[in-house]
Structure 1
Amino acid sequence: MPDTGSTQPPLVAHIIYALGTGGLENGLVNIINRSPPGRYRHAIICLTRAESFAGRITAADVEIIELHKNPGHDLRMYWRLWRTLRQLRPAIVHTRNLAALETQALGLFLPGCKRVHGEHGRDVNDLDGSNRKYRMLRRGLQPLIHRFIAVSDDLAQWLVATVKVPAARVRHIYNGVDHARFISRFANPQASSGENSNTSNNLSRAIDAMPVGFLSAQGARVVGTVGRLAAVKDQQLLIRALGHIFATRPEERGRLRAILVGDGPERLALEQGIVREGLAGCVWLAGDRDDIPALLAAMDIFVLPSLGEGISNTVLEAMATGLPVIATNVGGNPELVQEGVTGQLVPVGDVAALAAAIQTLVDNPVLCERMGRAALQRVQTDFDWERTVANYLQVYDELLQRPGNSFSPNTSKA
């Protein structure tokens, strides 16, 4: 039973596959760090492991538990999870994405515990949500789940129409962005000299970390992307698009540069792709970095070539930097990137279309600036972590029948 007799705030147990670098994990950390002290307690249960990303948690007394799940169906992991939940006695169990969904079955043995499941993006083996096995799994478990939270309208509609979750149990809550962290390309004239100095120093350090001579070309233009180097993010499409540009317009080799920030299982394949396309010296694989705002500020165009998305944190961060965004027309991307206004949308896997979109913006700095300003205005108006956190906490308050703030009509819906 949940620990309802304690004078401590209710405990939310967040169950995720791993606490590593990623948009889902970034959202979870922001929600925990930004929650008002004393309103809820939080624990993170990693089915596999926690990585260095866990160090970004600044809230006090957040327990992080690793279950070290083996590949495949590890029945002992479920036993360890059951014992952990019995010990924690959470008021709410909040799972995220398909990898953690099955653990909601333990809810049958946790009377009184409320259950929440978040959909942050579909599995790489089910990008359009049509996989029959996964669909039946979701349908079978959905009666056990009191609330579903979808980070995009696309996912919310899919939960209702395809998974057959009653609309009253679905909440749509956009991710937020920490505007203060990101360096707008359009300087605020009211910013203090200290803020401007700090921005300049961070940008200088990011440029110093680049390969020698990387930006030495006159009028260099930089395209970039940020994200885990994984198949679903398809950074290989960006590599191929750059190769296409250089093959059709060899003069671009002298000024066009690309930065890929992040690390992951596709790194070797991307290194091979850079060699194959003859891009040595033109592409920097920056690896995992802790100076993302400065690296974004060093870019002129942001590209998200992924095969599937929920709501991309990195797109929001690029918009907060004032960058035009080129993204594939999938998932929640069209909810962020307004065609011809804040950026451009291209078909998934279309090398020529991506190359043409990049070339259009490279050739037209005025259009870049106009789109970047529109992106910045959009994200400042509609995407804020404080609003996002308030809406997550309101879901918890509703389930536990605690007083709380109402949903913002701009970021959630039943």
Structure 2
Amino acid sequence: MIEVKKMNILHVVRPAEGGMKNHVLSLLKHLDKEKYHFVLCCPDGEEWGSLLSGTGVQVRECPLKGEISPWSDVHSILKLVNMIKSLNIDVVHTHGMKAGLVGRIAGQLVRSSGKIGGGHRPFASPGPYLISTVHNSIYQYALPEYQKRFLSTLQKYLARQTDKFVTVSQALKTEIMAWEGIQEKNIEVIYNGIPVDSFTKKSSPYLKIRLGLNPITPVVGTVARLAPQKGVEFFVQAAFLVSQIIDTVQFLVVGEGPLKKELQRQAERLGLRGKIIFTGHYADVSEIYPLMDVFAVPSLSEGLSITTIEAMAAQRPIVASAAGGIPELISHRQTGFLVPPGDHQALAHGILELLKRPKWSEKLAKAARQKAQAQFTIEQMVRQTDDLYQQIAGGREIAGFQRRYAHA
């Protein structure tokens, strides 16, 4: 009789929205359950459990917070240690800095103890293999230099315990090599992927009216979490400049976040009442992109912008700041228009150029969609992650992580 042994993989994630959440969900939904048994350790277990219902993924809740919280973090580490041992975890795969901190410490504690649950392991290591996916820059935030140095020192220590890093852009790979001293051979770049063909909807005049937009005049919009690193205040400033030249243009801001009220007040001060609409959270953003004649990405910091990939898939003309991994998505004047981060005048110039040259804008948008189809699909992201897991098996006669046993 043949028995198939799956590899046990534990994913660890902090409270997450947007790109990181979609990334983790896509992996857990699409990776082959015949090869792997997945456990997800996360806060908000009920929500994640609902999102992963029917996938076979085991969801375990832990009190992991986004910020440093010593008592909660120690509790999470101890819970993870117990989980790794009791579930015979082969790979701990963390996402983001906070989960990487807690998850890798727990994995290293299990390694140090030399104890792991019974049963076959797919490779001869004394504890779990540790993978850390880096989704965003932690060094581009406006932190005091001593805090950056502290983070760098801590990350360097954890890097020595980590078997493999994944970054979602070349820019992040370069950054962690410089700040954390990680060797290039220990880093894999796996771009975020989206369901590209889900972003082919047509513009709906009825949706425009429902959102408070004029259905026959141009719309310039952005989709973002309303947080400092997304630079939406520069979009509002650019909107003011553009509105001085094209009186009929409208602006749309889609998303929630801590800066929402401040941004609304800023728009009021600039006299943009009735010209700029804040929708808040919108459940299906694939309906939103077709409404936009120009899509703007004013970010100050990005790992790899999911909303930019979505706008590319939706074949929108894009003006974006050249922050983080965005230049890996947008080639200036080929698949979009790049501007310096934090420069609202350059952003306004890019918006105006795309609005005034519709044929050229359409050409850029088509090229952007072709690039999204070629490089930024869920299928490609899943395939590359699967390849990474296969590398871990290290040629120990494991075909796709399934070791077979003959029983009498």
Q: Which residue of 1 aligns with 2:352?
A: 359
- Asked if structure 1 preserves the Cα contact closer than 8 Å seen for 2:35 and 2:400, the reply is no
Q: Report the CA distance shift for 1:154/1:124 in structure 2 as closer, same or farther (over 3 A).
A: closer
Q: Which residue of 2 aligns with 1:182?
A: 199
Match among 323, 326, 333 for residue 333 of structure 1 = 326
Task: State the Cα distance separating 1:162 from its structure 2 match.
Answer: 3.2
Distance of 1:228 and 1:51 partners within structure 2: 23
Match among 23, 26, 38 for residue 27 of structure 1 = 23
- Asked if structure 2 preserves the Cα contact closer than 8 Å seen for 1:328 and 1:346, the reply is yes
- Once superposed, what is the RMSD of the aligned Cα atoms? 2.5
Match among 137, 153, 156 for residue 122 of structure 1 = 137
* 2:358 is aligned with 1:368: no
Distance of 1:376 and 1:325 partners within structure 2: 11
Task: State the Cα distance separating 1:53 from its structure 2 match.
Answer: 6.6
Match among 211, 229, 234 for residue 231 of structure 2 = 234
* 2:274 is aligned with 1:281: yes
Q: After superposing the two structures, state which structure 1 stretch, 328-337 or 32-41, moved more.
A: 32-41
Match among 187, 203, 225 for residue 170 of structure 1 = 187
One-letter amino acid matched to 2:242: I
Q: Which residue of 2 aligns with 1:206?
A: 207
Match among 146, 169, 183 for residue 163 of structure 2 = 146
Distance of 2:139 and 2:214 partners within structure 1: 35
Task: State the Cα distance separating 1:380 from its structure 2 match.
Answer: 1.6
Match among 40, 55, 72 for residue 60 of structure 1 = 55
One-letter amino acid matched to 1:119: V
Equivalent residue of 2:211, what SS? Answer: coil
Distance of 1:150 and 1:160 partners within structure 2: 11
Q: Which residue of 2 aligns with 1:296?
A: 289
Equivalent residue of 2:304, what SS? Answer: coil
Stretches of 4+ aligned residues off by more than 6 angstroms: 127-130
- Asked if structure 1 preserves the Cα contact closer than 8 Å seen for 2:164 and 2:187, the reply is yes
* 2:259 is aligned with 1:244: no
Equivalent residue of 1:78, what SS? Answer: helix
Match among 257, 260, 282 for residue 264 of structure 1 = 257
- Asked if structure 1 preserves the Cα contact closer than 8 Å seen for 2:229 and 2:300, the reply is yes
Q: Which residue of 1 aligns with 2:44?
A: 49
Unaligned runs of 5+ residues in structure 2 are 112-126, 402-408
Equivalent residue of 2:26, what SS? Answer: helix
Task: State the Cα distance separating 1:228 from its structure 2 match.
Answer: 1.4
Aligned length: 374
Pairwise mapping of residues 388-403 of structure 1 onto structure 2 (< 5 A)? 388-401=381-394, 402-403=398-399
One-letter amino acid matched to 1:229: L
One-letter amino acid matched to 2:265: Q
Identity %: 26
TM-score, structure 2 length as denominator? 0.85
Task: State the Cα distance separating 1:67 from its structure 2 match.
Answer: 2.0
Task: State the Cα distance separating 1:58 from its structure 2 match.
Answer: 5.3
Q: Report the CA distance shift for 1:203/1:27 in structure 2 as closer, same or farther (over 3 A).
A: farther
Task: State the Cα distance separating 1:295 from its structure 2 match.
Answer: 0.6
Equivalent residue of 1:99, what SS? Answer: helix
Task: State the Cα distance separating 1:159 from its structure 2 match.
Answer: 2.6
Distance of 1:15 and 1:242 partners within structure 2: 39
Task: State the Cα distance separating 1:115 from its structure 2 match.
Answer: 0.5
Equivalent residue of 1:65, what SS? Answer: strand
Q: Which residue of 2 aligns with 1:193?
A: none
- Asked if structure 1 preserves the Cα contact closer than 8 Å seen for 2:199 and 2:310, the reply is yes
One-letter amino acid matched to 2:135: H
* 2:80 is aligned with 1:81: yes
Task: State the Cα distance separating 1:41 from its structure 2 match.
Answer: 1.9
Q: Report the CA distance shift for 1:125/1:82 in structure 2 as closer, same or farther (over 3 A).
A: farther
Q: Which residue of 2 aligns with 1:40?
A: 36
- Asked if structure 2 preserves the Cα contact closer than 8 Å seen for 1:142 and 1:165, the reply is yes
Distance of 2:5 and 2:223 partners within structure 1: 39
Deviations 1:32-59 (A, max 9, x none): 111123121222212x435857644355
One-letter amino acid matched to 1:33: K
Distance of 1:141 and 1:68 partners within structure 2: 21
Q: Which residue of 2 aligns with 1:188?
A: none
Equivalent residue of 2:137, what SS? Answer: coil
Task: State the Cα distance separating 1:63 from its structure 2 match.
Answer: 2.5
Distance of 1:149 and 1:165 partners within structure 2: 12
Distance of 1:337 and 1:54 partners within structure 2: 35
Task: State the Cα distance separating 1:366 from its structure 2 match.
Answer: 1.4
Q: Which residue of 1 aligns with 2:8?
A: 11
- Asked if structure 2 preserves the Cα contact closer than 8 Å seen for 1:328 and 1:345, the reply is yes
Q: Report the CA distance shift for 1:353/1:282 in structure 2 as closer, same or farther (over 3 A).
A: same
Distance of 2:99 and 2:140 partners within structure 1: 16
Distance of 1:97 and 1:282 partners within structure 2: 37
One-letter amino acid matched to 1:94: H
- Asked if structure 2 preserves the Cα contact closer than 8 Å seen for 1:94 and 1:117, the reply is yes
- Asked if structure 2 preserves the Cα contact closer than 8 Å seen for 1:232 and 1:307, the reply is yes
Equivalent residue of 1:110, what SS? Answer: helix
Q: Which residue of 2 aligns with 1:91?
A: 90
